[in-house]
């Protein structure tokens, strides 16, 4: 998303960059990140327990605490740095992340609309969402992380080592390497924290789903030493259903865009045909597909069981193109698997440690902030927590 971001490239140039960076998200590398995620989880649950101890009646705002969690996870996995979002009042990395998100609520929205109408404009005008100061901050952080890794004896098959290797092979420059890291941070922390906060919110509002999931977690995901079994977490059917059902209702990015590369006549039914010209910008409003009663019965309700395997499971809806919180096709979210790890791990740890309910401070029915690019709710998502023994 930023000015020097390699992912804003289009066409062949973009295709090459994307294929170059895709192995960074291989199963082995993602697995290697998990101990870092677990470390942050410990701080996350400790923070919630402490807040509850301070004032047992005070509600918690989900978006803020989830953003602290994802900031710490992504910083740790990409920059090898502890962002200290839970322990330091003015964490520098968290402050920079906040600044970046604020930009998405003003200029970012205008930029999104402009680039979807005129796909070439971003490159032409060298548009950036992240301001120069924040961009320099993250690029320096990335370069420092590389220096530290190279001078230490730490051997870890993670994202950072992948970028260092890529630079050694001279496939990318210093700045490109840093830009990849910054992209990972900017695309990875806010989308996931919005995802986690809505999943927890829906569980807080559905006692049955919450209890059912807690049972699954305790019986199928946690081992006898109280640790999360990584493979079981990723493969658990009910957790996946909860994950997709909440993201169906509240996909962090409601619209994605494409540029038409070949003119086509689109059959709109009832004899109507719409011609899409080559070069035309297309907005795909996935949130409309997600809430269409033709696709889902009771589309506004949170019903993870609609994805039960006997109904065809999640795949049946994905195959029909009506479930795509991560986008679809050649430009599907590159961080989808990483997102599943950091989001599911947080859900598992919170649900096994706390009972959640919705606090009346939440403005219901929920409404989306009209001037924000991402799916952020007016007034925030407030919950009550009760620690479980």
- CA atoms lying within 13 Å on the CB side of residue 191: 22
Applying the rule CB under 6 A, the residues between 186 and 245 that interact with ligand HEM are: 187-188, 191-192, 195
Stretch near ligand HEM under the rule CB under 6 A, chosen from 45-53, 79-87, 225-233, 324-332: 324-332
Residue 288 labelled as part of a binding site: no
At its nearest, how many Å lie between ligand HEM and the CB of residue 297?
24
98 sits in which H/E element: helix 92-104
Q: How many CB atoms lie within 10 A of CB 300?
A: 9
Residue pointed to by tokens 């899409």? 276
Stretch near ligand HEM under the rule CB under 6 A, chosen from 122-130, 138-146, 263-271, 320-328: 320-328
Separation between Cα atoms, residue 360 and residue 195, nearest integer Å? 21
Decide if residue 334 touches ligand HEM (CB under 6 A): yes
Peptide bond preceding 365: is omega within 30 degrees of 0, i.e. cis?
A: yes
User: Quick one: DSSP state of residue 217?
Assistant: I
> Of these, 18, 31, 49, 352, which contacts ligand HEM (CB under 6 A)?
18
Q: Which is nearer to ligand HEM, 116 or 353 (CB)?
A: 116
Q: Which is nearer to ligand HEM, 162 or 326 (CB)?
A: 326
Decide if residue 325 touches ligand HEM (CB under 6 A): yes
Q: Are 138 and 1 in contact (CB under 8 A)?
A: no
At its nearest, how many Å lie between ligand HEM and the CB of residue 237?
19
Closest CA to 191 of 132, 250, 134: 250
Decide if residue 343 touches ligand HEM (CB under 6 A): yes
> Of these, 256, 307, 317, 382, which contacts ligand HEM (CB under 6 A)?
256
Separation between Cα atoms, residue 188 and residue 175, nearest integer Å? 19
Q: Which is nearer to ligand HEM, 60 or 179 (CB)?
A: 179
Closest CA to 348 of 21, 12, 34, 20: 34
Separation between Cα atoms, residue 376 and residue 203, nearest integer Å? 18
Burial class from Cβ neighbours inside 10 Å (0-12, 13-18, 19+) for residue 153 reads: exposed
At its nearest, how many Å lie between ligand HEM and the CB of residue 340?
8
- The count of residues interacting with ligand HEM (CB under 6 A) is 26
> Of these, 110, 316, 332, 388, which contacts ligand HEM (CB under 6 A)?
332
Query: Residues annotated in the binding site for heme, as ranges?
Result: 333
Binding stretches for ligand HEM (CB under 6 A): 7, 18, 183-184, 187-188, 191-192, 195, 251-253, 256, 325-329, 331-335, 338-339, 343
Query: Residues annotated in the binding site, as ranges?
Result: 333
């Amino acid at each position: 998303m930023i000015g020097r971001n390699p992912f804003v490239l289009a066409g062949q140039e973009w295709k090459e960059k994307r294929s170059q960076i895709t192995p960074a998200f291989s199963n082995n590398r993602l697995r290697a990140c998990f101990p870092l995620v677990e470390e942050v989880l410990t701080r996350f649950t400790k923070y919630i327990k402490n807040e509850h101890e301070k004032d047992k009646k005070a509600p918690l705002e989900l978006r803020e605490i989830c953003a602290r969690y994802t900031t710490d996870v992504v910083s740790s996995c990409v920059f090898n740095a502890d962002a200290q979002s839970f322990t330091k009042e003015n964490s520098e990395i968290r402050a920079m992340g906040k600044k970046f998100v604020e930009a998405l609520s003003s200029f970012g929205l205008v930029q999104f609309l402009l680039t979807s109408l005129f796909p070439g404009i971003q490159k032409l005008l060298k548009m950036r969402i992240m301001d120069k100061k924040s961009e320099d901050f993250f690029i320096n952080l990335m370069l420092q992380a590389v220096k530290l890794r190279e001078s230490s004896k730490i051997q870890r098959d993670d994202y950072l080592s992948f970028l260092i290797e890529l630079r050694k092979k001279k496939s990318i420059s210093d700045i490109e390497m840093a830009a990849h890291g910054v992209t990972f941070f900017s695309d990875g922390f806010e989308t996931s924290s919005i995802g986690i906060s809505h999943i927890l919110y829906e569980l807080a509002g559905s006692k049955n789903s919450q209890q059912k999931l807690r049972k699954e977690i305790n019986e199928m995901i946690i081992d006898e030493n109280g640790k999360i079994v990584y493979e079981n977490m990723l493969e658990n059917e009910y957790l996946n259903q909860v994950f997709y059902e909440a993201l169906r209702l509240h996909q962090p990015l409601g619209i994605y865009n494409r540029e038409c590369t070949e003119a086509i006549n689109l059959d709109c039914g009832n004899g109507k045909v719409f011609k899409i010209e080559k070069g035309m910008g297309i907005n795909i409003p996935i949130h409309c597909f997600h809430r269409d009663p033709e696709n889902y019965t009771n589309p506004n309700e949170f019903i993870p069981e609609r994805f039960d395997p006997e109904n065809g499971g999640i795949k049946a809806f994905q195959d029909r193109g009506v479930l795509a919180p991560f986008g679809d096709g050649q430009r599907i979210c590159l961080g989808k698997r990483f997102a599943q790890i950091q989001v599911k791990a947080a859900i598992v740890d919170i649900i096994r440690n706390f009972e959640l309910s919705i606090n009346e401070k939440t403005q219901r029915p929920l409404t989306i902030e009209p001037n924000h690019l991402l799916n952020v709710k007016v007034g925030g998502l407030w919950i009550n927590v009760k620690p479980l023994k």
